[in-house]
């Protein structure tokens, strides 16, 4: 009896192990069949990372940057987290005040530093905990920011030679942000940004800018187009949905970077960046022409049906996987 009991017990154990193995094998087979194999194709190399702490302000080139859901971050500087506003809370950009592109906003040792031509440097504490929270508007969207104080207001008003007071606000994580989905349904509903026009990231290739420059009498730099990530070692427009039209026909590009990986970071393309009058402001002089390069772009870059009157140069991306970006990293297109 005792021998039979041991045999039955061992038999049950063997059956249990066999059953578990069968289940695991089945699950593994299902996973293998349903899993989408990912293919990485090298498409370029990161040549520049540009943080624009102040909306319409001077870019800060960096060698490394954290790529977060709300855009690039370098130290205390976060992309488009500071905004100049009028007394009634409406945004003030280089569209209205072209000389804003000459204004540099940086951080050092817990202090905010403002610099501009023919102005003394202004330093104030980075965190203005006693500043009031201000309701403001970026285009037609209601957002909030913490006022950076009267000293900054007076400095900015003098620099811009404004008849009315100008103020600076700073976005903090607990304040009301923009929801890009409200303006463009292609963005995820949970996406949010501080003060950019639309998306947390804008990517552009050097070759696309080079192609534009070949059509211009006066060359421009990538700083005039204000991207976050600049990619080299690729052909013009391979990052976009369309290539320049030939014989009045729009040709689809087979190299669209819909989903890309850079190091540990993954980003997803949403829509092309429709360019506006801001591209005609020279970042070195603060002079607006309202002509070039916008007029030239309109002759060959009206390629996105969603942007019927705005030429496309650069692409808006959302962040799927956060991480640290480095200049020199390879850019991979992800496909299945």
Q: What is the pLDDT of residue 256?
A: 81
Domain ranges of the chain: 40-335
- Cα–Cα dist 288/283, whole Å: 9
Q: What is the pLDDT of residue 37?
A: 78
Q: What is the pLDDT of residues 97-152, one digit of tens each?
A: 999 999 999 999 899 999 999 999 999 999 887 889 999 999 989 999 999 999 99
- Cα–Cα dist 69/319, whole Å: 5
CB-based burial of residue 262 (10 Å sphere; 0-12 exposed, 13-18 middle, 19+ buried)? buried
- Cα–Cα dist 178/198, whole Å: 9
Residue 253 has pLDDT above 60, yes or no: no
Q: What is the pLDDT of residue 169?
A: 97
Q: What is the pLDDT of residues 48-63, one digit of tens each?
A: 999 999 999 999 999 9
Q: What is the pLDDT of residue 38?
A: 85
Q: What is the pLDDT of residue 8?
A: 56
Number of H helices, E strands in the chain: 4, 21
Q: Are 271 and 184 in contact (CB under 8 A)?
A: yes
Q: What is the pLDDT of residues 294-323, one digit of tens each?
A: 999 999 998 766 666 899 999 999 999 999
Confidence label for 26 from pLDDT (cuts 50, 70 and 90): low
- Cα–Cα dist 190/182, whole Å: 11
Residue 243 has pLDDT above 80, yes or no: no
- Cα–Cα dist 259/238, whole Å: 13
Q: Are 116 and 102 in contact (CB under 8 A)?
A: yes
- Please indicate whether residue 238 or residue 15 has the higher confidence score (pLDDT): 238
Q: How many angstroms from the chain centroid is the CA of residue 138?
A: 16
Architecture per CATH, domain 40-335, reads as Beta Barrel (2.40)
- Cα–Cα dist 201/319, whole Å: 8
| Total Cβ atoms within 10 A of residue 281 | 24
Q: What is the pLDDT of residue 127?
A: 86
């Amino acid at each position: 009896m005792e021998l039979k009991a041991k045999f039955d017990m061992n038999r049950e154990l063997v059956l249990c192990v066999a059953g578990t193995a069968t289940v695991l094998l089945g699950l593994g087979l299902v996973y293998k069949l349903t899993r989408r194999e990912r293919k990485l194709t090298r498409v370029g190399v990161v040549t520049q990372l540009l943080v624009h702490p102040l909306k319409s302000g001077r870019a800060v080139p960096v060698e490394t940057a954290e790529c977060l859901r709300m855009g690039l971050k370098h130290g205390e500087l976060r992309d488009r987290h500071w905004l100049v506003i009028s007394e009634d809370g409406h945004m003030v950009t280089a569209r209205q005040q072209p000389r804003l592109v000459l204004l540099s906003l940086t951080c050092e040792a817990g202090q905010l530093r403002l610099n501009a031509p023919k102005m003394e440097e202004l330093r104030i504490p980075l965190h203005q905990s006693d500043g009031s929270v201000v309701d403001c508007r970026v285009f037609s969207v209601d957002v909030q920011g913490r006022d950076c104080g009267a000293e900054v207001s007076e400095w900015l008003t003098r620099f811009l030679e404004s008849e009315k007071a100008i103020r600076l606000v700073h976005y903090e994580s607990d304040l009301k942000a923009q929801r890009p989905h409200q303006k463009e349904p292609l963005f995820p509903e949970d996406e949010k940004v501080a003060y950019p026009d639309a998306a947390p990231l804008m990517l552009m290739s050097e070759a696309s800018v080079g192609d534009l420059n070949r059509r211009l009498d006066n060359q421009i730099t990538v700083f005039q187009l204000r991207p976050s990530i600049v990619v080299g070692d690729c052909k013009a427009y391979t990052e976009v949905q369309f290539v320049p039209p030939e014989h009045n026909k729009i040709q689809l590009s087979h190299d669209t970077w819909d989903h890309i990986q850079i190091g540990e970071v993954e980003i997803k393309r949403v829509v092309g960046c429709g360019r506006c009058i801001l591209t005609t402001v020279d970042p070195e002089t603060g002079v607006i022409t309202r002509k070039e390069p916008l007029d030239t772009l309109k002759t060959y870059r009206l390629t996105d049906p969603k942007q019927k009157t705005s030429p496309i140069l650069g692409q808006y991306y959302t962040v799927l996987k956060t991480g640290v970006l480095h200049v020199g990293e390879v850019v991979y297109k992800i496909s299945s």
